[in-house]
Structure 1
Amino acid sequence: MTSTNVEVVRAGRREWVGLGVLALPALLASLELTVTHLALPSIAADLHPSGSELLWIVDVYAFLLAGSLITMGTLGDRIGRRRLLLGGAALYGVASVLAAFATGPAVLIAARALMGIAGSTLMPSVIALVAAMFKNPGQRSVAIGIVVASVSGGTAIGPLVGGWLLDSFHWGAVFLIGLPVMVALLIAGPRLLPEYRAPGRKRLDLLSAALSMGAILPIVYGLKQLAADGFAWPWLIAVAGGVIVGVVFVVRQRRLADPMIDLRLFTNRVFSTASIALALAIFVLWAVNYGIAQFLQLVHGLDPLTAGLWTAPSAVGTIAGSLLAPRFARRVSPGTVIAGGLTLAAAGFAVLVATGPLALLVTGSIIISAGLAPTMALATDLIIGAAPTERAGTAAAIASTAPQLGGALGIALLGSLITITYRHQTGAADLTREALSAAPAREAFTNAFHLSATVSAALLLITAALTTRHLRTPNADQPVRR
């Protein structure tokens, strides 16, 4: 592409204002998860759910969100990405009202399930629309960085907004946060967002959609249970079952003339390497957030809300890294920026290993977030840029699903590493505040936390080497065409 052509396709004022509209559901995506966790004690006191019902109130949203991403991304390519986004926003608003005024646990669980399905339309549509609106690679990189920063902004303000709402109103208010966002999206979206539907696309293959959910749901569920309960055959069987269904899904995609996922996308080294880097970045990020939350509550004795406030500053690192990464990528290749960020994040884990005061822990978490943010922004941009225009929705869904699976796997594996190491050193099975009241138990948990940080640093350095090798000249790979 010549410089003249690049100038022709540069986005104007309307596209940048439209990006502001798209940033709203991106911010909501992370904000909603944070405030729901804070609301659980109030929900338990009012609705009196059983222990399993309380878990499902949280988990059903994440499970259906992860399981529906691929299907929704592909559906957007077929029916129109703006149409899918606006339809999902309307459904999300209705489900939010149902959740806010739920009269029993079953109703709340059902409403949260609808919110998860509706939520799965948001990020694939947002990223795909960004790709359609910002065809200039430099502008697209900046726009995706803003979307990633918006997600981090939701993480940062979640504890503050949720705490204020729960102190001032009924717990149902936390589910109404998304309502004005969705109303604004429904009003402004038709005016500011373009419609795009891939030409010549056929109907959605319902069997492939079912297989994709049948693969992802048991994997995410099994990994989450392994992280929470430790090794158990039912959870391992769930993961294995999901993998088997995933193999069937892949075989079917190879045989279809118009597959949900064109597997040839993964033969593009930029697409595949960026997907791996993105998944591994979220793998360690979710794991370290889980570990730090445990460390603050079990070793330092903080309550959940105070622990959440101590972890909120790390979002500042993500926002800064997401916004600065495109600037650096103009001077050097995106792969170099990603590799540098991963190396910086590895240094942040080294700070965690030297953890003493809480301020040092926060410093390490900010460094880690700032280092991983370029991967989240630039890898997503590379995934979208490496896919053909008609597959942007599917590519966006992969860019959304890879972090979900990577994050679930990170919590399961590195979280289990902490638990196993602690049990090996203490011979105790309990990971509670009471169990860690003794100094030897706190020291054992600290050692386990440090081991997890060391493993994370090593994984990041390996991933940095991978991206340096395969993403040095990303423009050498053209989008895959059918």
Structure 2
Amino acid sequence: MTQTAPIAVTTTDGPRAGARGWWALIVLMLPVLLVSVDNTVLSFALPEISLALAPTGAEQLWIIDAYPLVLAGLLVTMGTLGDRFGRRRMLLIGATGFAAVSALAAFAPTAGLLIAARVLLGFFGAMLMPSTLSLLRSIFQNRDQRRMAIAVWASAFSAGAALGPIVGGFLLEHFSWGSVFLLAVPVLIPLLIAAPLLVPESRDPAPGRIDPISILLSMGAMVPIVYAIKSVAVDGATLIAAACVALSVVLGFLFVRRQLRATTPMLDMALFRRGTFSGAILVNLLSVVALVGFLYFVSQHLQLVIGLTPMMAGLALVPGMLAMIVAGLVIVPISRSVRPSVVVPAALVFSVVGYLLVAFASDEHGILALVIAFVVLGIGIGAAETISNELILSSAPPAKAGAASAVSETAYELGAVLGTAVLGGIITALYRGALVIPPGVPAEIASGARETLAGAYGAAHELAEPLRTQLWDAAASAFESGITLTSLIGAGLVMAAGVIAAVTLRTPRSH
């Protein structure tokens, strides 16, 4: 019986990029930097947004999740459009729209309008992200160069996450929360100027057709499942949530069947038959769920429980972000001689240890324990995602770089949604279950305190002593009680990612 040869991945014999290629990489890092800054800043701005706009618990989650939800639902569509009409063209359209809507979001007067702005940001953001990664695939055809370029590209996420809290902290201490959205304008203007000069246009010579039914099916498969997860996190299991899950499964099945039957599908489903591609996608998904969930509850803990300013809370997380950057760069030479099925699980062990440090750290270690935990967690995620992103691109044909990049970014953004919805929803549910309202607190104030930790902070300040201190102490204690279980769940997700990597990423070493 003949054995099937392993799926070939791109080798190192492609032409090497010159200086212009590396300058193009710098330009392509700008939208990645922006998206990362935006996500981190918003997490740190959430307490002030909650105090200013008084969102409900569900609205608070939607402020975070509306953007990545729409982004995840449209990434495959936008990736296909980029393959067909030009990836650089989509990048420039997305950058223009993203900058304009960011300026509008900065002045949103209500939680509902801010959520609407986040929806539009997701629409234009879906044009940005697949374009950057797929353009790297066409610029850096030599695999060694591409692996380093992807490590640098991925480091922009970490750099933005590190820069976001510092810049955002400064803005939040001197200006209103809306100022964090205005960061998009000075970041995207250089992109709009430099990209036409430095970044070559690329497209698929045989692109998938534009299929409105497939677009609707892909959105229909994404939105209900995330809504169901959010609904369960806020309101518990309901018939509506179950119906949404069923709808998502049915529409997802119809989408896959339509792609398999199409002569030129919008998304080439054959990509998912490659173990390295599917495995790397799952590693990205679970890693981002763990990372975003960690940032969701730690940012609130540092500011509201420990009492740090937004800037000081951001500085506390900078060592972890720097560790993520360094790990992504250091892993490149190691990956030349160690198989992905070994190096990725080994890296993720660090992230598991980071979560366990949070789960079992004693109260007296406070900030130091969180800083060390995030450093260890960042080492694992930075190394693992560099390898998984490179495998996603190298496993796909160059002409399908846009579609492959879109799937990779879909996993990333879906992970961001699930990180907030699942881990954020769990800790919110645990908080509500553990909160004991002190006797004497008026019913309307007690209702606000039960919604979120930020709601309790605002509610406590409406009371006179000693009820103010009693309510806040009860809220802080309830929030902290949920961190242990949430951290253990995060550790379990990372362990699952490590097992998947060990089983699926068994590709030959590249030399």
The match for 1:479 is none
From 486, 489, 495, give the equivalent of 1:452.
486
* 1:196 maps to 2:232: no
- Give the structure 2 partner of residue 135 of structure 1: 141
Farther off after superposition, 350-359 or 37-46: 37-46
For 1:464 and 1:166, the matched residues in 2 are separated by 38
**Pairwise CA distance, 1:196:** 1.0
Q: 1:74 aligns with which of 67, 80, 83?
A: 80
Tell me how far 1:423 sits from its aligned partner: 7.0
Question: How far apart are residue 59 of structure 1 and its match?
Answer: 4.2
| Structure 1 residue 200 displacement after superposition | 2.4
The answer for the alignment partner of 1:480 in structure 2 is none
Question: Where does 1:34-183 land on structure 2 (aligned, <5 Å)?
Answer: 34-37=40-43, 51=56, 58-100=64-106, 109-169=115-175, 172-183=178-189
1:27 aligns with 2:36: no
Which residue is equivalent to 1:336?
342
Query: Displacement, 1:215?
Result: 1.6
SS in 2 for 1:177: helix
Partner of residue 468, structure 1:
502
CA contact (8 A) 2:105 2:114 kept: yes
Alignment of 1:327-366 (within 5 A): 327-356=333-362, 357=365, 358-366=367-375
Cα shift readout 1:179-204 (whole Å, capped 9, x = no counterpart): 22222112111111111110122531
How far apart in 2 are the matches of 1:473 and 1:43? Answer: 46
Match of 1:437 in 2: 473
Q: Can you give the 5+ residue segments of structure 1 that lack an aligned partner in the other structure?
A: 477-482
Higher mean alpha-carbon deviation, 337-346 vs 196-205, is at 196-205
Moved more, 229-238 or 345-354: 229-238
Cα distance change on mapping 1:364 and 1:44 into 2, 3 Å: closer
Residues 15 and 219 (structure 1), Cα distance of their counterparts in 2 relative to 1, 3 Å cut: same
Q: CA deviation at 1:343?
A: 1.4
**Higher deviation after alignment, 416-425 or 120-129:** 416-425
- Native 8 Å contact 2:88 2:201 kept in 1: yes
CA contact (8 A) 1:63 1:221 kept: no
Check the 8 A contact 1:223/1:408 in 2, yes or no. Answer: no
Matched position secondary structure for 2:336: helix
Name the stretch that deviates more: 163-172 or 389-398: 163-172
Distance 1:206 1:81 in 2: 20
Query: Matched residues in 2 for 1:110 and 1:290: separation?
Result: 21
Contact 1:81–1:128 (Cα < 8 Å) also in 2: yes
The answer to whether the 8 Å contact 1:31/1:158 transfers is yes
Q: Which runs of 5+ in 2 are unaligned?
A: 1-7, 438-448, 457-469
- CA 1:261/1:179 → structure 2, altered by over 3 Å: closer, same or farther? same
Instruction: Check the 8 A contact 2:61/2:421 in 1, yes or no.
Output: no
User: Could you tell me the TM-score, scaled by structure 2's length?
Assistant: 0.82
Farther-moved stretch of structure 1 (394-403 vs 174-183): 174-183
**Residues 462, 119 of structure 1: CA spacing in aligned structure 2 closer, same or farther, 3 A cutoff?**
closer
Q: Secondary structure at the match of 2:266?
A: coil
* Distance change >3 Å, CA 155–CA 446, structure 1 → 2: same
Shift of 1:107: 6.0
Q: Aligned-pair distance for 1:81?
A: 0.8
Q: 1:455 to 1:63 in 2, by over 3 A?
A: closer
The alpha-carbon deviation at position 92 of structure 1 amounts to 1.7
Whether contact under 8 Å (2:292, 2:420) holds in the other structure is yes
Q: TM-score, normalised by structure 1?
A: 0.86
Identity of aligned residues (%): 41
Determine the structure 2 residue equivalent to 1:368: 377
CA contact (8 A) 2:217 2:255 kept: yes
Moved more, 397-406 or 306-315: 306-315
In structure 1, distance between residues paired with 2:160 and 2:99? 18
Q: How far apart, in 2, do the equivalents of 1:100 and 1:155 lie?
A: 20
Contact 1:32–1:158, Cα closer than 8 Å, also in 2: yes
Q: Which amino acid aligns with 1:402?
A: A
CA-based RMSD of the aligned residues comes to 3.3
Q: How many aligned residue pairs are there?
A: 471
Name the SS of the counterpart of 2:17 in structure 1. Answer: coil
In structure 1, the partner of 2:403 is 394
Cα distance in structure 2, aligned partners of 1:303 and 1:244: 46
1:283 pairs, out of 282, 289, 292, with 289
Quick check: 1:273–1:467 contact (8 Å CA) kept in 2? Answer: yes
Q: Offset of 1:383 from its aligned partner?
A: 0.8
Letter in 1 for 2:133: I
Cα deviation for residue 228 of structure 1 reads 4.2
1:361–1:41 distance in 2 versus 1, CA, 3 Å: closer
Farther-moved stretch of structure 1 (71-80 vs 170-179)? 170-179
Match of residue 220 from structure 1:
226
Which whole-Å CA distance do the structure 2 matches of 1:71 and 1:177 have between them? 27
Cα distance change of structure 1 residues 213 and 475 upon mapping to structure 2, 3 Å threshold = farther
String of CA shifts for 1:132-157, please: whole Å, max 9, x gaps: 11111111111111111111111111
Aligned to 2:16: 10
How far apart, in 1, do the equivalents of 2:430 and 2:100 lie? Answer: 45
Contact 2:42 2:64 in 1 (8 A): yes
Q: 1:278 to 1:208 in 2, by over 3 A?
A: same
Distance 1:173 1:352 in 2: 32
